[in-house]
């Protein structure tokens, strides 16, 4: 038998295989233009509301470095970060459904694909949509004059990194969900994070203890990173934020792969 | 290991917690044959199939599929397998043809190659006119045929069929059997589980009889019957309440007797003579039927239970 060559091929990461999960989802969503259209209107509505609403009430914001920016320019990158976080949260409902109620993954695992391929493929797919959203968001921000520095272009990959990090951790978390009710827990975590990660006002306004807590919030990493890029305030702390998000991404991926394996390979 | 064995298992064991679902079994599947696992629900057939299919790790023992260890070479093994699971797991979010397309893609086949194969597979499954339909709109038999067609997209060397016809009406079953014959003729090695003795007799060159996680007998259907059961069986039914009183008066008429709740089975090499004798003794059964021994009788003898309850 010609099995010897197969034996010596090491087990290795095979991106092509997880790409096929992306292909499957493309086939499923081929006709769902609504998803893309909502991806465009969501930032428009958000940005419009902070520009004409809050922006008019709050006035300008003075940054720690003395820079004075409009409230809209201050809040817009934070909303981009929050939207990058929320995308995978909603995606996780679909993944839960597939894990729990559909036998689709079971059918997929009878092919050369592995649980890890499924985890990586689903997260990649969710982030391809995330990338589209982020691009639309940044384009709308730019059109509204809210991108104050050429560094702002890097907000797109930074938002994608955010989405990947939350997507990976979110998928891992989804595998622990027993019922739809458990999803309330996700909002118990993400809602305060959304409100208290220097999203709507500078960190310096919070009481000291909350400042310390907020600095360790995953969303804060993304908010501060995106805000710095969009406003053109570049410093070394950004590397710390990136490292935090990358660590989230990697540990989330490993965890998600293991958990999917535990659930589906018995 | 003989080089023409596609699957070799020795002392294979599968535990779920403390429960032993597959209990130290040995078997070997040779290239080109149709190999069967016959046993009632809960015998451990599906658990065994999933280990062979490299989707479930063995708890203990030795298993080699296509010359490879599933623990370390799952993807390579699955690349060359076709799997028809006990319960259909088609992709409900995709129409019939896309189910085949994406499955081909999971195996890494090119789109043009898949396109070539799909038409033939849809014809094979008699679903050509349903290509664009939602999977959920198909009948049970159609879903089963689509699942079988799907399992063939990668032209597997080894096809695993877990109760391929359970839940189908007789017509659909015969159609499926016909499809499976054709595959066998094309040289595909088949492993089939079933709790239907007629299916096992029709399809399998060789089979093992499983019960409670163990293998209780193995051989060709004819050899198993010959070894474990006289040629004929007389099935005798009495009016309600009568059976208990008369069973002992039948005992000497066959080499073995089985009193089931609803009928008595008499095993003998000459059924007609036994039937005649029952009438002579003035026992007046409700019905009396002489038939050939089957695998069902073998199973009954080996385990004391019927296959389908
Ligand atoms: N994932 C599982 N967890 C716990 N028990 C299981 C699992 N799968 C099967 N079993 C048990 O193992 C036994 C054998 O099951 P199975 O292999 O499906 O038998 P068969 O296919 O012959 O009906 C059954 O008693 C079943 O309840
Ligand atoms: Mg079964």
| Chain B: residue whose CA lies nearest to A3 | B67
DSSP bridge partners of B287: B237
Strand arrangement, sheet containing B189-194: B81-84, B158-162, B189-194, B34-38, B206-211, B214-219
User: Mean pLDDT throughout A181-205?
Assistant: 85
Q: Please give the pLDDT value at position A35.
A: 66
Contacts of B87 in chain A (CB under 8 A): 103
Listed in sequence order, the residues at least 6 apart from A147 whose beta carbon sits closer than 8 Å to its beta carbon are A138, A141, A153, A155, A230
Contacts of B159 in chain A (CB under 8 A): none
Place of tokens 């990668």: B154
DSSP bridge partners of A68: A62
Q: Give residue B303 CA to ligand 2 midpoint distance, Å.
A: 18
CB B160 within 8 A of CB B191: yes
Distance CA B295, CA B65 (A): 28
Domain ranges of chain B: 5-219, 230-292
Place of tokens 């081929």: A30
**Topology given in CATH for the domain delimited by B230-292:** Alpha-Beta Plaits (3.30.70)
| Strand (E) or helix (H) holding B291 | strand B287-292
Q: Please give the pLDDT value at position A91.
A: 79
C-alpha closest to that of B100 among B44, B145, B43: B145
Q: Please give the pLDDT value at position A4.
A: 38
Determine the residue of B42, B50, B84, B214 to mutate for testing ligand 1's pocket, defined as the one with the most ligand atoms within 8 A of the Cβ atom: B42
Q: Supply the residue whose CA is at minimum distance from atom 6 of ligand 1.
A: B16
B89-136 confidence digits (pLDDT tens): 999 999 999 999 999 999 999 999 999 999 999 998 899 999 999 999
Contacts of A107 in chain B (CB under 8 A): 85, 89-91, 103
Which tokens belong to A26?
A: 């493309």
Give the burial string for A44-74 (b: 16+ CB within 10 Å, else e).
Answer: eebbeebbeeebeebeebeeeeeeebbbbbb
Q: Give residue B44 CA to ligand 1 midpoint distance, Å.
A: 6
Q: Do B89 and A17 touch (CB under 8 A)?
A: no
| Chain A: residue whose CA lies nearest to B134 | A28
Domain ranges of chain A: 33-264
C-beta atoms surrounding A180 within 10 Å: 11
User: Mean pLDDT throughout B261-271?
Assistant: 90
| Mean pLDDT across chain A | 85
User: Mean pLDDT throughout A22-44?
Assistant: 77
Which tokens belong to A97?
A: 């459904």
Domain B5-219 has CATH 3.40.50.300: yes
Distance CA B38, CA A87 (A): 49
């Amino acid at each position: 038998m010609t099995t010897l060559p197969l034996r010596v091929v090491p087990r290795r990461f095979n991106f092509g295989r997880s790409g096929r999960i992306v292909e499957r989802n493309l086939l499923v969503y081929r006709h769902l233009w609504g998803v893309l259209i909502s991806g465009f209107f969501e930032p428009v509505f958000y940005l419009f509301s902070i520009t004409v609403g809050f922006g008019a009430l709050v006035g300008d914001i003075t940054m720690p470095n003395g820079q004075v920016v409009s409230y809209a320019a201050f809040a817009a990158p934070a909303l981009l970060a929050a939207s990058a976080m929320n995308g995978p949260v909603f995606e996780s409902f679909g993944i839960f459904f597939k894990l729990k109620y559909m036998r689709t993954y079971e059918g997929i695992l009878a092919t050369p694909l592995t649980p890890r391929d499924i985890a990586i493929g689903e997260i990649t797919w969710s982030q391809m949509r995330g990338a589209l959203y982020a691009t639309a968001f940044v384009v709308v921000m730019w059109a509204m004059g809210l991108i104050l520095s050429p560094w702002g272009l890097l907000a797109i990959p930074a938002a994608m990194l955010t989405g990947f990090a939350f997507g990976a951790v979110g998928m891992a978390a989804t595998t622990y969900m027993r019922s739809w009710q458990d999803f309330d827990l996700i909002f118990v975590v993400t809602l305060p994070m959304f409100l208290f990660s220097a999203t709507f006002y500078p960190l310096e306004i919070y009481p000291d203890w909350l400042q310390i807590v907020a600095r360790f919030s995953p969303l804060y990493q993304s908010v501060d990173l995106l805000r710095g890029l969009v406003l053109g305030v570049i410093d070394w702390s950004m590397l710390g934020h990136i490292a935090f998000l990358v660590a989230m991404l990697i540990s989330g991926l490993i965890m998600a792969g293991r958990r999917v394996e535990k659930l589906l390979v018995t | 290991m003989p080089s023409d064995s596609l699957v070799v298992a020795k002392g294979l064991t599968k535990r779920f917690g403390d429960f032993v679902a597959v209990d130290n079994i040995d078997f070997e599947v040779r290239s080109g044959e149709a190999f069967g696992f016959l046993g009632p629900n809960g015998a451990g057939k599906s658990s065994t199939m999933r280990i062979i299919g490299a989707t479930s790790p063995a708890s203990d023992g030795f298993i080699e599929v296509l010359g490879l260890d599933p623990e370390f070479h799952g993807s390579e093994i699955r690349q060359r397998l076709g799997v028809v699971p006990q319960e259909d797991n088609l992709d409900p979010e995709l129409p019939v043809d896309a189910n085949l397309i994406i499955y081909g893609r999971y195996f890494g086949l090119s789109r043009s190659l898949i396109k070539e194969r799909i038409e033939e597979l849809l014809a094979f499954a008699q679903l050509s006119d349903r290509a664009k339909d939602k999977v959920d709109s198909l009948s049970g038999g159609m879903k089963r045929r689509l699942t079988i067609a799907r399992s063939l997209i990668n032209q597997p060397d080894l096809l695993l069929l877990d109760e391929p016809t359970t839940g189908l009406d007789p017509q659909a079953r015969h159609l499926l059997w016909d499809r499976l014959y054709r595959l066998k003729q094309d040289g595909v090695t088949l492993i089939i589980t079933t709790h239907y003795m007629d299916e096992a007799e029709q399809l399998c060159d060789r089979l093992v009889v499983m019960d409670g996680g163990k293998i209780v007998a193995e051989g060709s259907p004819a050899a198993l019957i010959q070894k474990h059961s006289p040629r004929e069986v007389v099935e005798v039914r009495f009016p309600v309440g009568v059976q208990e009183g008369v069973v002992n008066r039948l005992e000497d008429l066959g080499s073995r007797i089985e009193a089931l709740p609803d009928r008595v089975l008499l095993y003998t090499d000459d059924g007609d003579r036994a039937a005649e004798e029952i009438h002579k003794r003035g026992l007046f059964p409700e019905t009396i039927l002489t038939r050939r021994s089957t695998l069902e009788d073998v199973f009954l003898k080996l385990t004391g239970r019927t296959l389908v309850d």
